[in-house]
Each structure stands twice: as structure tokens, then as C-alpha cells.
């Protein structure tokens, strides 16, 4: 299961003196669903294009099954891509679009017909073969683009924000279906998105990027619960980030109060960043609470309320099921294992 399939070693790419991908290294296992996540412009697409063979790294190596493939053109890589804006061929119908890769591989006609029909069923568009591409809706075009790629049974499927243009409902359906497909077909998916929720839902592994640098690689829960720095903590969901001091083993102080904590690996007296997720803060009676504040706003978010509570002039975001009135005094409590500490970046 965990056989290393593709590896990036110190890969760097520069456009006009701007380093877009900066010395990144990572490896991807067979059958893995890996997501490159980061704000727009952080170099995700460029990384994906280097894996696909559309761009060459300036330095570093891309290694596929133990072989350096830097110089291999896209048409010789066992990799297929689902392009962001689908890139379906407008002069071909749905069938010929999907059969395009198979014809290049000189697959017999009979087999092509069967595999195209299977692929169409897989994306829930059976009998769509004769349709014109231009007459399909965005969601349907998206599915055809996926079918066109997976029909070739690639080792690796690259997907560049494939759902970005779809509306919310369709997007959520497709997230689920893509994940299912990946499980069923056993293809390695390398997925690019700037949507942290999408990344958390679908991925086995998330690579968080910023300005061409990898910030953190980990599982969705790992990255959510143990962000390595402020950027990751902020980017992956909402969080309260506070300045604190590591007093001694298992004790941290912030907001002028000492708390028990479980994180270790810091020196006594070291400055730390403290991360507390909004759902990990509990509202308690202000009397006797370590942190006391006043509710400054409350928004109903469907399932929970999002409260803003001002404590010592610092704003806390809290997710809670019980509403509080604006202006009401509340106490805040947090469990020791919900307090996550990070090294301070200079």
C-alpha cells in the first residue's frame, strides 16, 4: 500500500527572477489521495504542471518509480490531467474526446468502445457518447474531463481545482464521487485546491504551501489539530492564536493566566504561539473562570452559533450550540489537550 510512486527532490522553478516553487521535496505513495493546498499564487499549479511534464524544473529532480523524468515529455508519462477549465476538444463529440487517449495507444476499436462506455457510466453519464461537448452543462463537462483522463488507467491523475467552477451542491457531490472513484480505481490522485474544506474532506495527505514553500505535510486531522505555524493554523479553518510563554513542562501561560497543557518540546520560559480552535472553547459561568469576557457579536451559522467574545481587549471566536446575548459576560474554558503550542517564527 505504501509504495513510493513519485518523488520531488529539491524542485525549484523560477519565472522572471521570481521563485515560484522554492526547493520543495515530497513523496507520494501509490493509491494516495494527496492535496496541494494553499492560497492562490502559491505555486500549486506550477508544481502540478512540473509533475505532468508541462514545465521543467530549473533545478531538482522529479522521480517516477525510481527514474528521473525531468526530461520526459507529457505524452510519455503515465500521468493524466483533469484541467481546471476542462479543456475538452470542441471539434470532437463526447465519445471521441474520451477515446482520444486510447486511440493514441492504438487500443483495438471494440475495446475502445467498451472502455469509453464504462468510463461514461463511472461518471454517471451513460449514453452521452454522441453528444456535442458544447451542449453540455459545466458539471457534465467536468465529468467528461474526468472520464477522458481515467479511461486511460493512468498511474497518477492530476486535478487542478477541478471543482472550482461548480456550484456548492454539485461541488460537494463531486467531492464525494471523486473520493469514491479514487478508492475504486486505485489511482494516485494529486489534487490542487485553495479550498481548505475540500482538502480536509477528500485527502489522505495534505501539503500546505505558501509562496512556493511547503509549510506542512500531514494527514487532515494532523494538520488541523497540530498546525506547525500561524499560517497553517489560520489557513486550515478558523482559530484563535495567542502569544504565550512555556512556563515549565506541561504548563503554559497566556492572557496572564497559567494553563495545563500536553505539548512538550519547548524550553522553560520560551515564547510560544498558542492555537485554540473555536469549537474547543467552552462557555462557562464567569464566576471563577480563568478567562472572562463580554460577547460582542453572535451569528447563527446553521448548526452552531459563532460568537465573538472580547477578553482583555483580545477577540476570541467561539463555536457553540447555545446562543448568548451581545453584551453578556461569559467565562471561557479550554481542556489541556485542546491547547496546541507552536514555535514562534521569527
Partner 1 sequence: MNIKKLGKLVLPYLVWMSVLVGLPLLMMVVLTFLKSNALDLGTAEFSFDSWRILFSDVTVRIALKNSFVNGIIATIICFVIGYPIAYIVANSNFSNKLIILVLTIIPMWSNSLLRNNAIANILSERSIVNDVLSNIGLNFIWPIRGVVYESGFSPAVVIGLVLTYLPFMILPIYTVLEKIDKSLLEASMDLGSNKIKTFFKVTFPLSIKGVTTGIIMVFLPSFSGFAIPKILGSGSLVFIGTLIDSRFMNRNYNFGSLLSLVILLIIFGSMALIFKVDKEGETLI
Ligand X SMILES: Nc1ncnc2c1ncn2[C@@H]1O[C@H](COP(=O)(O)OP(=O)(O)O)[C@@H](O)[C@H]1O
Q: Which is nearer to ligand X, 41 or 126 (CB)?
A: 41
CA dist 88 and 95 (Å) reads 11
Looking at beta carbons, which residue is closest to ligand X?
45
CA dist 97 and 116 (Å) reads 10
Which grid coordinates belong to 281? 472553547
Question: Which residue has 457579536 as its cell numbers?
Answer: 297
Map residues 80-99 to x or -, x wherever contact with partner 1 holds by CB under 8 A. Answer: xx-x-x-xxxxx--------
CA dist 330 and 328 (Å) reads 6
Report, in Å, the least distance between residue 169 CB and ligand X: 25
CA dist 105 and 87 (Å) reads 20
Q: Which does 80 bind (CB under 5 to 8 A by kind): partner 1, Mg ion, ligand X, none?
A: partner 1
- Residue 107 contacts partner 1 per CB under 8 A: no
Ranges within 115-154 binding partner 1 (CB under 8 A): 148-149, 152
- DSSP assignment of 125-186 equals -TT-TTSBGGGS-HHHHHHHHHHHHHTT--SEEEEESTTTTS-HHHHHHHHHHHHHHHHHHT
Q: Which does 321 bind (CB under 5 to 8 A by kind): partner 1, ligand X, Mg ion, none?
A: none
Map residues 32-71 to x or -, x wherever contact with Mg ion holds by CB under 5 A. Answer: -------------x--------------------------
Q: Which is nearer to ligand X, 41 or 186 (CB)?
A: 41
Of residues 341, 332, 337, 342, the one with CA closest to residue 311 = 332
Planar angle of CA 315, 261, 340, nearest 5 degrees: 55
Which grid coordinates belong to 23? 526547493
Q: Which is nearer to ligand X, 43 or 331 (CB)?
A: 43
Q: Which is nearer to ligand X, 16 or 313 (CB)?
A: 16
Q: Which does 46 bind (CB under 5 to 8 A by kind): ligand X, partner 1, Mg ion, none?
A: ligand X
Planar angle of CA 152, 155, 160, nearest 5 degrees: 85
Which residues form the interface with ligand X (CB under 6 A)? 15-16, 20, 38, 40-46
Q: Quick one: the chain helix, strand, coil %, rounded to 5?
A: 30, 35, 35
Q: Which does 101 bind (CB under 5 to 8 A by kind): Mg ion, ligand X, partner 1, none?
A: partner 1
Q: How many residues sit close enough to Mg ion to count as binding (CB under 5 A)?
A: 1
Report, in Å, the least distance between residue 309 CB and partner 1: 48
Q: Which is nearer to ligand X, 42 or 133 (CB)?
A: 42
The one among 73, 256, 269, 302 contacting partner 1 by CB under 8 A: 73
Report, in Å, the least distance between residue 245 CB and partner 1: 52
Sign for the pseudo-dihedral over CA of 184, 190, 192, 193? positive
**DSSP-H helix ranges across the chain:** 44-52, 94-104, 109-122, 138-150, 168-185, 196-202, 220-225, 230-235
Report, in Å, the least distance between residue 249 CB and ligand X: 40
Cβ neighbour number for residue 93 with a 10 Å cutoff: 17
Pairing of strands 251-254, 257-260: antiparallel
Q: Which is nearer to Mg ion, 45 or 229 (CB)?
A: 45
Ranges within 146-185 binding Mg ion (CB under 5 A): none
Q: Which is nearer to partner 1, 148 or 340 (CB)?
A: 148
Q: Which is nearer to ligand X, 48 or 332 (CB)?
A: 48
Q: Which does 105 bind (CB under 5 to 8 A by kind): partner 1, Mg ion, ligand X, none?
A: partner 1
CA dist 266 and 263 (Å) reads 8
Residues near partner 1, by CB under 8 A: 52-54, 73-75, 79-81, 83, 85, 87-91, 100-101, 104-105, 148-149, 152
Residues near Mg ion, by CB under 5 A: 45
Amino acid at each position: 500500500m505504501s509504495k513510493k510512486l513519485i518523488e520531488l527532490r529539491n524542485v525549484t522553478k523560477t519565472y522572471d527572477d521570481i521563485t515560484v516553487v522554492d526547493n520543495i521535496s515530497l513523496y507520494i505513495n501509490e493509491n494516495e489521495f494527496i492535496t496541494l493546498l494553499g492560497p492562490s499564487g502559491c505555486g500549486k499549479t506550477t508544481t502540478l504542471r512540473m509533475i505532468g511534464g508541462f514545465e521543467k524544473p530549473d533545478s531538482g529532480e522529479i522521480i517516477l518509480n525510481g527514474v528521473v523524468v525531468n526530461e520526459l515529455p507529457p505524452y510519455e508519462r503515465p500521468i493524466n490531467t483533469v484541467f481546471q477549465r476542462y479543456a475538452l476538444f470542441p471539434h470532437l463529440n463526447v465519445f471521441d474526446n474520451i477515446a482520444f487517449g486510447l486511440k493514441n495507444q492504438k487500443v483495438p476499436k471494440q475495446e475502445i468502445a467498451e472502455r469509453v462506455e464504462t468510463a461514461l457510466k463511472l461518471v454517471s453519464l451513460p449514453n452521452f457518447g454522441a453528444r456535442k461537448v458544447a451542449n453540455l452543462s459545466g458539471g457534465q463537462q467536468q465529468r467528461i474531463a474526468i472520464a477522458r483522463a481515467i479511461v486511460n488507467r493512468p498511474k497518477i491523475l492530476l486535478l487542478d481545482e477541478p471543482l472550482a467552477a461548480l456550484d456548492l451542491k454539485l461541488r460537494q457531490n463531486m467531492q464525494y464521487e471523486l473520493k469514491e472513484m479514487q478508492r475504486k480505481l486505485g489511482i494516485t490522485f494529486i489534487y490542487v485546491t485553495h479550498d481548505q474544506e475540500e482538502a480536509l474532506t477528500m485527502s489522505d495527505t495534505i501539503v500546505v504551501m505558501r509562496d512556493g514553500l511547503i509549510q506542512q505535510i500531514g494527514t487532515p486531522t494532523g494538520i488541523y489539530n497540530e498546525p506547525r505555524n500561524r499560517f497553517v493554523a489560520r489557513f486550515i479553518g478558523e482559530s484563535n492564536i495567542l502569544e504565550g510563554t512555556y512556563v515549565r513542562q506541561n504548563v503554559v501561560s497566556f492572557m496572564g493566566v497559567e494553563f495545563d497543557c500536553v505539548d512538550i518540546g519547548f524550553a522553560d520560559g520560551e515564547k510560544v504561539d498558542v492555537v485554540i480552535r473555536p469549537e474547543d472553547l467552552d462557555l462557562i459561568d464567569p464566576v471563577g473562570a480563568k478567562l472572562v469576557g463580554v460577547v460582542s457579536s453572535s451569528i447563527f451559522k446553521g448548526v452552531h452559533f459563532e460568537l465573538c467574545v472580547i477578553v482583555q481587549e483580545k477577540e476570541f471566536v467561539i463555536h457553540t450550540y447555545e446562543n448568548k446575548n451581545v453584551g453578556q459576560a461569559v467565562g471561557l474554558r479550554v481542556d489541556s489537550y485542546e491547547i496546541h503550542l507552536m514555535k514562534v517564527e521569527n
